[in-house]
Structures are given as structure tokens and as C-alpha cells.
Amino acid sequence: MEELENIHALLKASLERERALELRVADLADFVEQVAMPLHWVDRNGIIVWANQAELEMLGFTSEEYIGQPITLFHADQAIIGDILKRLTADESIMNYPALLRCKDGRIKEVLINSSVKREDGEFIHTRCFTRDMSAFFEEEKRMAEVLVDLEQSEARLLMAMESTGLGTWDYNPQSGSLTWSEQCKKIYGLPLNETVDFSTFSEHIYPEDRGFVQQEIQQSMKPDGDGRYDITYRITRFDDHSPRWIRAQGKVYFNPEGQPERFIGTVDITESKLALEKITRSEKLFKTIALNIPRSFIIVIDSERRVQAIEGDAIQRLGYLAAGYEGKHLSEIGPPGRYEKTKPLYDRMLAGEQFIEERKGANGDDFMVHFVPLKNDAQKVYAGLIIALDISDYKRAEEKSAMLAAIVASSDDAIISKNFDSIITSWNAGAQRLFGYTPAEIIGESVLKLIPPDRQEEEPEILARLKRGERVEHFETKRLTKDGSLLDVSLTISPVKDAQGKVIGLSKIARDITEKKQEDSRKNDFIAMVSHELKTPLTSMRSYIQVLLGIAKKEGSSFQVNALTRADLQAQKMTTMIHDFLNLARLEDGKITLHKTRFALQPLIEEIAADAPFLTSSHQVVLADCKQIFLYADREKIGQVLNNLLSNSIKYSPKGGTVTVGCEMLAERVKIFVRDEGVGISSEDQKHLFERFYRAKDEQIKTVSGFGIGLYLVAEILRYHDSLITVESTVGLGSEFYFIMDPVKQ
């Protein structure tokens, strides 16, 4: 029983093993059936005995159509299958044998066949063929080849396109260090086309200042964590002429699967515009500085596209341009409407390379001088234009004014002459030529002394001294010499010529011929002299009779008669003085005055004159300050006349009385002789004219005071003959002081 159980157990175990085996075989069969790799078996007669699903799908047959058929039926190339079968029969195994299989739809598939024969006891059972479908692979390969051709072609096309745009290309292999430049690239760098370049020569030709930054950028691009892109603008130094150029380089780094940079390719382009722009910017700064420093000007810089690069200056608005914010705008977009169209031909000329100047009117009528300056690059190509406008309105107005003045000067009857402080004549009008006989060519550059008679040469330094003090010399009557040697009576008005800043730069002299007036005056003077002379004789005898009668009346003690005769004598004396003045004036005017100089003491002369004062006034106190020890060398009678005049004026023009002082004051070596009063005073306007002939102050208060306005003229003239000058200092309402300064002599 136990044995039976044992057999049973054994049987069971063997059954279970068999079952397990069966399961494994079924599993394998299913695997073979289902596996993606096509498989088939062929028997010794070449008949297909089995094929899996993958094989059937590869060729498109059902198992009925395929299994049981000779294998040769499915081979497109009989030679191949013949060879395969032959080899297998000879017990060879074949590996990756290329063959061509025919599909159900007629397509031919390229396959690789691996096969060996299954034998049992040396007997050929069937072949075991593994077929690998290569069509997809070959197709892919073919497509790859086509893509490659395409790629090559498009790369070539791209290269051509880039070269035609002036772009150069470069190719750098960071691993090997080799660098290749396209033709255009070499042209940009000025490198001969047959020469090659390497990374170090490339580096050497980066502009020194830019080298550091370019290398940094390259390193940056080749970092594995970056995007490998590269786009920078920098300067290079050309190989041929070593001149600098701005270029823009763009590129991309390609990394290998290990993350190392494998290829670095890109393009270069000349950025002339950048160079031009830099030039403009540089110039622009300069132009701005210029514009800001030239008052009443403005400057516009435009590029070749007529866009404003810079606009600056205080006169912008005055030419009709409104406000700032012009930069980058086209010229037609700025300025008043229609202006661009009108000005366009000028811009055209400038941008065509012409440099010129035009006078233009601003919006408000101001005149501008506008310079159009083309800015050219080394190749003489205009890359920008500079427009400089200067406001010349003032200059224009001055020009018009000076043209008008020149016309006046030219047409004047008077001689108008200008000279410098060295007395050299610098201009000479037609009037001067008519008067003096010299042509401008003969006299300009000569000394003015040529026109002054020998006995009046000292007048010139005196006139110059007065002018240097800024004074004008008006109606100075004198004599001048003509070319033919004759003497002319002239009235001179000489003024300093000042520049815009008020600096005296020369002298202008107007000479008027007064010969006729002089002759007329002379006739008048002769008449006055004659009348005065004729009046003097009867007046003298009249005074003698009055004095005789006065003497008698005094003796008789008739106070009324004494009083009346004293007044009559005073009036007669006044008349005598007046007649004397007229005579003196007439003599003076005729130049007939002569000095009889003697040495005399001043004090007695003053006392003599003051002695007459009580006859003139009772309401004034005449004080004689100390003039003792003063001796003069002069015409005693005429100095007496001067003092007499000043004293009687002081009394006349102090209607309310007061003190009149006659005195002397030492000023170092010189003596100041003065007559001072507490009278009405003289306004500063009147002071300027007091010493002119027949001038009388316009003061209402003294209108009733008799006089002809000759006295002070005579005073001034007499003193002038003595090389002295009468001066007045006065305050209206407080009084006046008249004084002159002389050189005293020893006792």
C-alpha cells in the first residue's frame, strides 16, 4: 500500500512537472508568437512551415497565404535566397544578411536576415529565420542624406545671403582653437583673402581698450549654464591700415552632450553708423558748448536722414522754432509750417557736400547769418550736417546806421576829420578836402599839425589834454592852414570817439569855415570900436563937467545937488566901463589884444579896485583877504580889469547884500586868486556857458540887472592870454566863487 502511495506520489509529481513544462512551452510559444521580431521556419524543401505574427504583419499576408508557400516566392532577389538556402544547407549560420522581401501590396522591403538550421540527430528539421525590417532604417538614412544635402545647400545659401548684406561669418572651435573667417569677414578686418587667422591674432586686433570686455563676453557665452548667445559691438584695429572700425559681432555657442562648447559661430558687421554717431555725439557736445557760448546764436546738427541730433542756442525761438524736444525728429516735423519746404533746397545742397553761408530772416524779422556745414567721413561721404545760425540784426542795424552816417559825413559841407591821440589823421571827408585842399590820400596818416599855423601849434596839446579828460571842445574859433598856405578862420568842435564800451578810441573834429562870419564880425567889431571910441570922448568930457559941478556943489553944501551929481557920475562911470568893455571886446575879437607884462605886487592892485566899491554899493561889505607878498608878472591893467569885472559881478548878483571877499590862497608854488560872494549863485547848466560871449544866466531874479554878457568872456580871454583859466564854483542861493590860478614871481 505504501508502495502504491509512493508510486502515486511519484506519478503526481511527474504529472505536475509535465504540466509545468507544458505551461512553459505554451508560454514560450505565445512569446515567440507575440514577439515584435519577425520569425519564420523553412523546411528542407524551402517551404515555410511557420511564421509569427510580426512576420505576417511585416509583409502583410495572412498565415494561410504565407505558411505552406515556398520561401523563394517572397524574395525579390532570387540570387539572395538561393545563396541563403545554399549556405544553410551547408550548415552555415548567416548573420545580418541583407535581402529584399516582397510584401503583399507589392512593396519591396529591405531586411537583414539571421538564420541557422535546427537539426535533430544530424537531420535538417527547419531553418530558424529572424528577419529585421531595415526599410525604415534605410529610409531614415536616405532622408538624413537628403536633409544633409538640403542643409548644405541652405547653409551655402545663407552664407551667400549674409555675404551679400556685408555680413562676415566666423566659425570657432573652442576645443581645437581653430578659427575660420569668411571672405567678407576678412574684408571687414582688412586681412588679405589668402591669409588665415587664429584666435590670438583675432584678439590682437581688438581695439586695446575693448579687448578686456570682448574676451569677458566670449567667456560668458561659452559658460555651460548660459544660453550661448553673443551680441556685442566693439572696435577693432584693421590689419591693413591699423585704423579703428566699429563692428557688431553676433554668434551662438553649441555645446556637446557633455556640456562643453564645441562650436562657436556667428557674424560680424561694420557699424559705420555707430562710428558716425559717435562722431556726431562728440561734435554735438562741442557744438552745444559753442552754441551756448555765442550769444544770439543756435546750432542744429542733423544726420543724413535729416533727423535732428542736437539743437542748442538761445536764438532757437527767434528763428521760429518753438521749444525743446526736437531730438530725433525729422526737420519737416519742427519749425513753423511750410518752413521745411522752403529751406529744403539748402539742406539738399549741404547734404550733397556743399558748404555755404546764407542770410535768412527769423520769424520776427531778425536777420540771421546761417552757415551750412556738411560733416564728412574719411571716405568723403556726408554723414551729418551742421547748421550754425548767428543773429546779426544788431550788426545789420549798425551797418545801416554806419552807412547812413557815412553818407552824412560824405555829404557834409563841414570838414569832418578823425584823428588818433598821436594827432595822426585817420579819416578825411569831401568837406575837409574842399576846405583844406588836401585829398584823403595826401593827408591820411599825416599829423594834424600840418593844418595848424606855426604860431598856434601849442593849441593841439591843449586840445588833446581837454579831450583826454573826456571834455568836448565846442566852437573853438581859431585859424588853420590850407594846402596852398593861406589862413582860414575855422570854428572847431572836437569830441572824443568812444566805442560801445565807452572807451575813447579816437577823436572826431568838425571844422567849419567861418572866414565870412569872421569878416562880418570884423566889420561889426570895427563898427563897435568906432562907436565906442566916438562915445568915449564926449562921455569923458561929460564926466569932467559932472566932477567939476560936484566939486562946486560940495563946496556950496547943497546935499541934493551932491547926491544927484554923485549918481550922475556913477552912471557915467558905468557907461565908461561898458564902453571900455566893448572896445576891449572889439580889439580882442580882431586879435588886436597885446599884453604889456610887468612885475607888480597884487595887494595894491586889489586895494585900488576895492576902493571904488563904496561908490557901487552900500549894502555890501567888501573884504580884502591877504594878498601881500604876492607878485605877478602879467599885464597889470588887464588883471585889474579881470578883478574889477569879478568884483562888480559879485556885487551886482548879490541883490540882498552880504560879504564879498577878494583874496589869495597859496597852493604849493602857485597862487589862487578868488572873488567870493553870498549872492544868488549860478545853476550848473548856466555854469557851462558863463564864459561865452553875450551869455547871461536865465535866472528870473537877476533879469533886471543890466549887462551884456561880455564881462566874463573878457575875463576868460584875458586869462587865457596869460595861460590861466577862469573857474567857477557856485551853489544856487548860497553864492559863487570865481577864481584863477597864476604863477607868482619873486619880489
Residue with cell 504529472: 15
| Contact assessment for residue 49 and residue 126, using Cβ atoms and an 8 Å cutoff | yes
- The CB-nearest residue to ligand ADP is 707
Provide, rounded to whole angstroms, the least separation between the CB of residue 688 and ligand ADP. Answer: 12
Q: With CB under 6 A as the contact rule, which of the stretches 30-38, 430-438, 566-574, 700-708 interacts with ligand ADP?
A: 700-708
Could you tell me the strand order of the sheet in which 123-133 lies? 48-51, 39-43, 123-133, 108-120, 94-102
Residue closer to ligand ADP by CB (options 169, 641) is 641
In angstroms, give the least distance from the CB of 315 to ligand ADP. Answer: 56
The distance of Cα 435 from the centroid of its chain, to the nearest Å, equals 50
Classify 186 as helix, strand or coil: helix
Should residue 396 be labelled a site residue for ligand ADP when binding is judged by CB under 6 A?
no
- Mapped onto helix, strand or coil, the DSSP state of residue 500 is coil
Nearest approach, Cβ of 686 to ligand ADP (angstroms)?
A: 7
> Which span sits near ligand ADP by CB under 6 A: 120-128, 420-428, 603-611, 703-711?
703-711
In the chain, the amino acid numbered 460 is E
Q: Which is nearer to ligand ADP, 507 or 579 (CB)?
A: 579
583 scored as a contact of ligand ADP (CB under 6 A):
no
What track of x and - describes contact with ligand ADP for positions 705 through 724 (by CB under 6 A)?
Answer: --xxxxxxx-----------
Q: How far is the CB of 585 from ligand ADP (least distance, A)?
A: 11
Closest distance of CB 736 from ligand ADP, Å: 4
Q: Does 313 bind ligand ADP (CB under 6 A)?
A: no
Write down the least CB distance from residue 702 to ligand ADP, Å: 6
Within 10 angstroms of residue 596's Cβ, the number of other Cβ atoms is 9
Binding piece for ligand ADP, criterion CB under 6 A, among 403-411, 440-448, 451-459, 704-712:
704-712
DSSP 687-724: HHHTTSTT-----GGGTTS---S-HHHHHHHHHHHTT-
DSSP state of 455: G
What's the one-letter identity of residue 575? M
Would you say 695 or 721 has its CB closer to ligand ADP?
Answer: 695
d(CA 30, CA 17): 20
> 635 vs 677, which CB is nearer to ligand ADP?
677
Buried/exposed 514-546: b ≥16 CB within 10 Å, e otherwise = beeebeebeeebeebbeebeebbeebeeebeeb
Measured between alpha carbons, how far is residue 14 from residues 2, 6, 19, 22, 28 in Å? 18, 12, 8, 12, 21
Place of cell 566916438: 534
Tell me which H or E stretch contains 172: strand 168-172
Does residue 385 interact with ligand ADP by CB under 6 A? no
Contact string 612-651 vs ligand ADP (x = CB under 6 A): -------------------------------------xx-
Query: Given the complex with ligand ADP, which of 704 and 747 has the nearer CB atom?
Result: 704
Give the shortest CB-593-to-ligand ADP separation in angstroms: 17
Q: Which is nearer to ligand ADP, 182 or 649 (CB)?
A: 649
Q: Which residues of 599-630 are buried (b: 16+ CB within 10 A; e: fewer)?
A: ebebbebbeebbeebeeebeebebebeebeeb
Based on CB atoms, which residue is closest to ligand ADP, 663 or 707? 707
Residues 659-688 that bind ligand ADP (CB under 6 A): 677, 679-680, 682
**Residues engaged in binding ligand ADP (CB under 6 A):** 649-650, 653, 677, 679-680, 682, 690, 695-697, 702, 707-713, 736
